[in-house]
Structure 1
Amino acid sequence: MEELLLTASATELQALLESGNLTSVQLVKACLNQIAKYDRLGPTLRAIVSTPPEEYIPSVAERLDKERAVGKVRGTLHGIPIIVKDSINTDPLLGMPTTLGSYAFEKSQPKGNSVVVQTVRDSVCRLSGLRNLIAWVTTSHPAGRRSMVRLNRRTSKVESSTERCISVTHPISIGTEADGSLVTPASRAALYGMKPTVGSTPMDGIFVISTTFDTVGAMAKSVDDLAILIGYVQEKGAGNNGASPDYRAVFQRDWSGLRLGFVDPDKWWLPSGLVKPVEEVHTQIKASYEAAMERIRSSGGEVIYPVELVHPKENGIGKAMDTIFDYEPRGVVAKYLETRDDPNMKSLEDIANFNIEHADLELPEDYPNQNAILDALHHKFKCTDYEAAKTTLQKEALENGVRRIMEENRLDAIIGPTDGPLASISAAIGGPIATMPAGVLNWHGRPFGLSVMTLPKHDGVLGSCLHFCSSKIQTFR
């Protein structure tokens, strides 16, 4: 069973459930055993905050098995366990506190499930664990199991241990992303990951820091699983120009005329401030990148290389993003805190003060500050600055940037190394982005991936490109 969980997709597990070769009771117990083995003991990944009470889990799984036996199947993921990020509210009745990874919320509770959790729980599957929060608030888990080490929106996206726990314990996961916090960790665990168009998923009951950049997304072990899960978390038609969110149907079309633009990997690489440059790593990823282009060409796709895509450092885009990241959190966080029963935590100021008063718990020794929170509290930006920043992104990132280059080259999507800032330019335009496994580094065995992005509300096109490319490229999982 352990080997099965390491490699099997949710679709493959569903086939075993349908055939009677596996039950949901057996599956969820196996997932919990994996959590105990890898998260609590052994390598102690410390990525799972909580699971439902032991007495609760078998009864729910048994009920789902009984429903299946009489022909009542809730959906394509009926009986499949799922991991949910610890910034997404779950009802206290589920027995899994939503802590945001912080002692500040150890004793408080959400008023109920987030819209996304309620939709998924009612329609398709059962929840079996909360992932540790992987971005923004510097925290330790209330049980003292620290998994985040930095309060930095630019670096936390590549430092989470969460994706490793998903890869060994569960087939699918729901999370959030503003700028890379889904696709980057997914690529580093040989997983598929997707952030859909901003505004296409319900965000009620979810802790985020930005309405401009944040949305709900998913990680999975196959493209089909990713398509199914995105279809459930996304509001109908919101990310696909009004069409059905079932992207599996779109995957069946003929993609012989697919046109993909590839950025120059030498220009689209994570800065040395985030990742220490290693020539051997860069050489291998670039070789894999070039091989992927050749395989796509030989399979009937058209490759345009290099495409001169606007970079986040150009035309004031990065500065505009920083302005928005500083301006929005105060109001966004206050609105989220209204979804919780906690008289002591009503504002971003309350969180900052708690961190100061409990610095020994909240501020780790290797990064003993909360600069991102303080920047959001003490910035000098006015509403006019904020609106100007949004206008800059609309004009320079979207209209004069991504849309122009895609229309001039008649591109379906743009591809770049996931170990690069493609997620940032995608965030700047509010568009969808996904990642797929591309190989494993000889240097230290870490997987790496390719990211695919396109224009907002063209999520189905992106999913189709992802499916086409992954079927032509020798992906590693």
Structure 2
Amino acid sequence: MHSRRTPPTGPSHQPVPPAGHPTGQLGSDLDAATIPWLARRMASGGLTSVRLTLAYLHRIATVDRRVRAVLAIDPSALRQAAESDRRRAHGRALGPLDGIPVLVKDNIDTEGLASTAGSRALRVPPTRDAALVTRLREAGAVLLGKTNLSEWANFRSTRSTSGWSGVGGQTNNPHALDRNPCGSSSGSAAAVAASLAQVAVGTETDGSIVCPSGHSGVVGFKPTLGRVSGDGIVPVSAWQDTAGPVARNVVDAAILMSALDVEGTDYASGLRPDALRGARVGVWRKAGADADVDRVVHSAVRVLRRAGAAVVEVALPHQVAVEAAEFPALITEFKHDLERYLRTRPGAPRALAELISFNERDPVELSRFGQELFELAAVAPPVTDPAYRRQRETATALARASIDETLAAHELDVIMAPTNSPAWRTDYADGDAYEVDSSTPAAVAGYPNATVPAGFAGPLPIGVSFMAGEGADARVLGCAAAFERIARARRAPGYLPAL
């Protein structure tokens, strides 16, 4: 069952299927298609899941040679699609996700298929699906394949380059191919932006869903911690890790989130076009670091006001203390949680020290950057250490307070902030070059955070994020959808070779 596809090199000048191709009529529709639109077409007999899946496989074969977002194709994808068509023909469709092609980040276990976390050390596929993959199958989704990622979810080096892994190579930003896609769900976001699948699943510890989604100009949603099962996902920290949806529009993200949610919440049915009318939105501008970000945030505030929201300027407190405590806590948690996960994988190293040795011997793994975080984690104190416990308690408590206190002090419904600055040029000498991000408060608190396209710096997308308190997932998605409806800021990527 295992199938790993190495994307061919070289440019492609055929971003959509040709008119004569059997899926060609879908080519121009995929970018704008929503899951409800596709489901209606399949219900009426105007489209089949097999035809839709073929269209996406064709785009992967043609477009992904430039983006390099897809690490492995599931050889059973067309069989899954045919089974969906048979269910629908007999009136037994499983719901809105039935027959919809989905890509899954390759740090999420899929039985017999890749699941490498980008590392050549995990060459033997897992023997069972992650819990969230089981939920996708139960919803009838077509598991199309696995997406590339920043290796080990971007937790290997202090000078890493997002979107690179030893297994998948470098994922490129589809808007400008020399620009970085951000990490670590780089392949998931770039693939959705390039219409290589209808939706994708990413994971986040701190920024790894919202940052790549912002950079690739798509919607990304990091839910409240615990809403999606972490069973079968390669971890960084059980205190912060969560999977979540990546999509080209909020309604698709909400539908995918409904399938992933362990409580079975229906997020899509609650989306209202007027969700921002009468809402109080705190705007955390993070101004001054980037003029393009400042301009996009200013435009986003105008959108909020047109939508009927009251806007309040805010600054989230405690950020320096949160960041100071978060990093050492993650270092300790990484070793503990990763080694527990490795014991579930056949043929995998059993300890972080073994992974370090593997990388030192391997001709590819350390070719772009080192493993300083692995080395720090290898000598980190255990999770029983009192100093570690204080760090985690401080980070989590202050991150929650930074959001809760701000919401309460100004009687806010949500907080909006810039997601990202324009994508930097991919650089293996100096690594990543973050300038503006706002992911840490919600990530460390375990609170929901949704990013939506808001504008551009030339061809490079900039997003804004909506965040709120614990369990406010539906409210965050609702505000994001209402903003999206008025802003209409997303556009298809241009695959520019360089800027």
- Which of 280, 290, 304 lines up with 1:259 in the alignment? 280
| Residue-by-residue CA offset, 1:230-252 (whole Å, 9 max, x unaligned) | 1111211xxxxxxx621223323
Q: Which residue of 2 aligns with 1:100?
A: 117
Q: What letter is aligned with 2:233?
A: I
| Residue 252 (structure 2) pairs with residue 222 (structure 1) | no
Displacement after TM superposition at 1:394 (Å):
3.8
Provide the rounded CA distance (Å) in 2 between the counterparts of 1:347 and 1:11: 45
Q: Does 1:331 align with 2:309?
A: no
Q: How far 1:265 moved relative to its partner?
A: 2.9
Aligned to 1:166: 192
Alignment of 1:404-419 (within 5 A): 404-419=405-420
Task: Give CA-to-partner distance per residue, 1:264-293, whole Å, 9 cap, x none.
Answer: 3316x5xxxxxxxxxxxx333322211221
Please give the alpha-carbon distance, in whole angstroms, between the structure 2 residues aligned to 1:331 and 1:140: 22
% identical aligned pairs? 28
| AA in 2 matched with 1:194 | F
**What's the TM-score once normalised by structure 2's chain length?**
0.82
Cα distance between partner residues in 1 of 2:78 and 2:218 = 28
Q: Deviations along 1:140-176, whole A, 9 cap, x unmatched?
A: 454xx41279xxxxx9627935422222211100111
- Specify the code of the residue in structure 1 equivalent to 2:377: A
Partners of 2:285 and 2:68 in 1: CA distance: 37
Q: Which residue of 1 aligns with 2:21?
A: none
Provide the secondary structure at the position in 1 that maps to 2:463.
strand
Post-superposition shift, 1:112? 0.3
In 1, distance between residues paired with 2:185 and 2:456?
A: 18
Aligned partner of 1:211 in structure 2 is: 238
Secondary structure of the structure 1 residue equivalent to 2:28: helix
Q: For structure 1, which runs of at least 5 residues remain unmatched after alignment?
A: 150-154, 237-243, 270-281
Distance 2:315 2:80 in 1: 52
- Structure 2 segments unaligned to the other structure (5+ residues): 1-25, 157-163, 173-180, 421-435, 492-499
Q: Please, what is the CA RMSD of the aligned residues?
A: 2.1
For 2:284, give the aligned amino acid.
Answer: V
**Following TM superposition, where does structure 1 have runs of at least 4 consecutive aligned residues deviating by more than 6 angstroms?**
none
Is the alpha carbon distance of 1:328 and 1:341 closer, same or farther for their aligned partners in structure 2, counting shifts above 3 Å? same
Q: Is the 8 A contact 2:77 2:143 kept in 1?
A: no
Cα deviation digits, residues 24-47 of structure 1 (max 9, x gap)? 1111111111111122x3x2x222
Provide the residue aligned with 1:23 in structure 2.
48
1:91 paired with 2:111, answer yes
Q: 1:299-318 counterparts in 2 under 5 A?
A: 299-305=307-313, 307-310=314-317, 312=319, 314=320, 316-318=321-323
Aligned residue for 1:174, secondary structure, equals strand
1:446 aligns with 2:431: no
Cα 1:63–1:250 change in 2 (3 A) is closer
Secondary structure of 1:199's partner?
coil
Q: 2:89 aligns with which of 69, 74, 84?
A: 69
* Counterpart code for 1:417: P
Q: Equivalent residue for 1:355? A: 359
Question: What amino acid does structure 2 have at the position aligned with 1:191?
Answer: V
Determine if the alignment matches structure 1 residue 2 to structure 2 residue 27.
Answer: yes
Indicate the SS of the match to 1:362. coil
Question: SS where residue 414 of structure 1 aligns?
Answer: strand
What's the offset of the Cα at 1:425? 1.4
- C-alpha separation in 1, matches of 2:119 and 2:41: 38
Between structures 1 and 2, the one with greater helix share: 1
CA pair 225-159 structure 1, distance change in 2 beyond 3 A: closer
CA distance in 2, matches of 1:326, 1:391: 15
Check 1:249–1:5 CA distance in 2 against 1; reply closer, same or farther (3 A cut).
closer
How many residues were matched structurally? Answer: 431
Q: What is the CA–CA distance in structure 1 between the aligned matches of 2:291 and 2:182, rounded to whole Å?
A: 25
- String of CA shifts for 1:93-114, please: whole Å, max 9, x gaps: xxx22122111112x1212000
Provide, for residues 41-65 of structure 1, a one-character-per-residue CA deviation record: whole Å limited to 9, x for no partner.
3x2x222111122xx3333222211
Q: Distance in 1 between matches of 2:376 and 2:472?
A: 34
Contact 1:148/1:156 (CA < 8 Å) preserved in 2?
Answer: no
Q: Aligned with 2:390: secondary structure?
A: helix
**Per the alignment, do residues 72 and 436 of structure 1 end up closer, same or farther by CA in structure 2, a change over 3 Å counting?**
same
Matches of 1:36 and 1:97, distance apart in 2: 18
The code of the aligned residue for 2:281 comes to L
Picking from 48, 51, 72, the partner of 2:73 is 51
- The answer on whether the counterparts of 2:147 and 2:187 sit within 8 Å (CA) in structure 1 is no
Check conservation: 2:276, 2:483, Cα contact below 8 A.
no
The TM-score with structure 1 as length reference comes to: 0.85
Q: In the alignment, is residue 195 of structure 1 matched against residue 213 of structure 2? A: no
Secondary structure at the counterpart of residue 287 of structure 2: coil
Determine the structure 2 residue equivalent to 1:286. 294
Q: Is the 8 A contact 1:148 1:159 kept in 2?
A: no
Per-residue CA deviations over 1:423-451 (Å, capped at 9, x if unaligned) read 01111211111100112222xx1111101
Task: Using the TM superposition, give the Cα deviation of residue 380 of structure 1 relative to its aligned residue in structure 2, in angstroms.
Answer: 4.8
Q: In structure 2, what is the equivalent of residue 390 of structure 1?
A: 392
Residue 269 of structure 2 corresponds to: 249
Contact 2:221 2:253 in 1 (8 A): yes
> Superposition pairs for residues 29-48 of structure 1, below 5 Å?
29-39=54-64, 41=65, 43=66, 45-48=67-70
Q: Secondary structure at the residue paired with 1:340?
A: coil
Counterpart-to-counterpart distance in 1, 2:247 and 2:479? 17
> How far apart, CA to CA, are the structure 2 residues paired with 1:137 and 1:405?
30
Aligned letter for 1:326? I
CA contact (8 A) 2:184 2:204 kept: no
User: How many angstroms apart in 1 are the aligned matches of 2:284 and 2:122?
Assistant: 42
In structure 1, how many angstroms separate the alpha carbons of the residues matched to 2:265 and 2:283?
27
Q: What's the counterpart of residue 278 of structure 1?
A: none
Q: Which residue of 1 aligns with 2:170?
A: 147
Specify the alignment match of 2:403 in structure 1. Answer: 402
Give 1:398 deviation, angstroms: 1.8
